[in-house]
Structure 1
């Protein structure tokens, strides 16, 4: 997993959506395609270069052949995450951060991807086309997205507080989970499935853990407390010419220290992979802290 931190400065004053993840994703897709496309075909699927195209790998992401238990999936999770700072009113010269996370072989194309993000920002983001300039070279660290994480993790020294920083969208049995309905079992099973798919499709590591046993164990655990709310959010789809509801859960979840140990490595890793729907746009981002209970 590669982590790249980019700093941009606004070339003029302007406005961005309060949640800028969708604007970044859309501008990035257009800029990357314009940078690498050699056929000019509008539809990528029938393109003769599909299997060798960086844009197709990042935005279409067909699963590799011969993936055993994963062969039923027709697409793989996208191998990137964009985490921008909040939008709103932006003054000329104001800096904005964008955290880019790449998984697996997409790190080999990180220079091209960052160049596409730079190009997208210069052309302008959002409906008002706010132009940004990349003002600081990227910094990167690369770590392994391990199918059995457990190395170099801090110890749990108290109850686990999970702060949902961006709206969490989890869909169970054809409906999105509401503030009163999010169980630890549902949260963990969705997270573990995402990690297992990222490992299998992008790290090319077989996910040998007993998935069912871990999920069954998670379903026997309950939050110590949950203070959640439904945060309204919409994004504008230029393709559909309409707003799309992206509302999700924010707030704080608490897991007792005695219950957290068995799930700790995957919960820790989920801070970097994100969880739920819309991860590529920065949704489902959470941060964890441990707090010792008062005696």
Structure 2
């Protein structure tokens, strides 16, 4: 059911400049701030026009990546904020926030479906953003290199040299077929889900700290079905009611989660965004085989709202 999925992952290696760099605990908030404007400056032909009034909006990368909207004839009409963006920023989970001059740090970029073709725009936009400055005080850094990650072997290869500013290789595109092959080898009766970044999802109309297995699966199904529909032009062929009923039968063995608040300022909305969610881990038991492909996909694509900031990152440990 997930065979048509296409994902590519890149690792950015950054060196702090002469002033050093200071980032918030959730480093992705600093990486996302200002990135959209830089990206737009690279690709926009008519910067004085709003995207909705531009005759090139159907082919321009910017509105597709940052203002993803359904086509007028789309069967699924969702609001702007409910459509997942076709990329994810993923920073290290350590708590280091200050980087001295010459010190390096890394972050990952995951591109989904059609967005993979726009990888060079992402790379050059981050290169320019780092030159302009990020984090507190907008201090500059240098993009040393970008590596393409082979998600089958977990090997990495340099595809962009920050010194020459040249693309020197090609990304590795990971397909859903690999997920399905891996899933066939697993017949688990127990799984521990590690919620590595705030898991933000709604249950009965409100954001919740409940970790019932069916709530996790509902969130994952919403995200995956939208990713396939809007970024692969495929309607995911899953019996949602059936799989949710089966998910309701899965029992929680242990729940060691807690709520963590996270906020950032959105320049587009000119407001502070509260992005809290639960973190920690929970263990589940039952007939988990039907959910293995979904959870494996969730490890790659995250499984909750605001995944573009790195939220909803999960890791599965099978029993």
TM-score, normalised relative to structure 1: 0.89
- Equivalent position SS for 1:207: coil
C-alpha deviation, 1:66, in angstroms: 4.2
Which residue of 185, 200, 222 corresponds with 2:251? 222
2:153 maps to which residue? none
Which residue of 242, 246, 263 corresponds with 1:213? 242
After the TM superposition, which residues 154-193 of structure 1 pair with which residues of structure 2 at under 5 Å, given as runs? 154-156=185-187, 159-178=190-209, 181-193=210-222
- Equivalent position SS for 1:155: coil
2:69 maps to which residue? 62
- Equivalent position SS for 2:175: coil
Contact 2:84 2:227 in 1 (8 A): yes
Runs of 5+ unmatched residues, structure 1: none
- 2: CA distance between counterparts of 1:127 and 1:34? 22
2:180 maps to which residue? 150
Q: Tell whether 2:78 aligns with 1:73.
A: yes
- 1: CA distance between counterparts of 2:132 and 2:253? 47
1:110 maps to which residue? 119
Q: 1:158 to 1:74 in 2, by over 3 A?
A: closer
Contact 1:81 1:281 in 2 (8 A): yes
C-alpha deviation, 1:190, in angstroms: 1.0
- Equivalent position SS for 2:110: strand
1:34 maps to which residue? 41
Runs of 5+ unmatched residues, structure 2: 1-6, 149-170
Deviations 1:175-234 (A, max 9, x none): 1102xx221111101101111111122122231121221112112222221111011222
Q: 1:208 to 1:171 in 2, by over 3 A?
A: same
Q: Tell whether 2:15 aligns with 1:9.
A: yes
C-alpha deviation, 1:137, in angstroms: 3.0
- 1: CA distance between counterparts of 2:246 and 2:188? 21
Deviations 1:107-150 (A, max 9, x none): 1111111111111122111231132211123213211246x952
1:280 maps to which residue? 308
2:317 maps to which residue? 289
TM-score, normalised relative to structure 2: 0.82
C-alpha deviation, 1:74, in angstroms: 4.5
- Equivalent position SS for 1:29: helix
CA RMSD of aligned residues (A): 2.1
2:282 maps to which residue? 253
- 2: CA distance between counterparts of 1:97 and 1:107? 20
**Pairs aligned (count):** 285
- 2: CA distance between counterparts of 1:79 and 1:145? 16
- 1: CA distance between counterparts of 2:181 and 2:70? 28
- 2: CA distance between counterparts of 1:24 and 1:37? 21
- 2: CA distance between counterparts of 1:105 and 1:65? 19
2:158 maps to which residue? none
- 1: CA distance between counterparts of 2:259 and 2:295? 22
- Equivalent position SS for 2:312: coil
- 2: CA distance between counterparts of 1:16 and 1:232? 17
C-alpha deviation, 1:46, in angstroms: 2.0
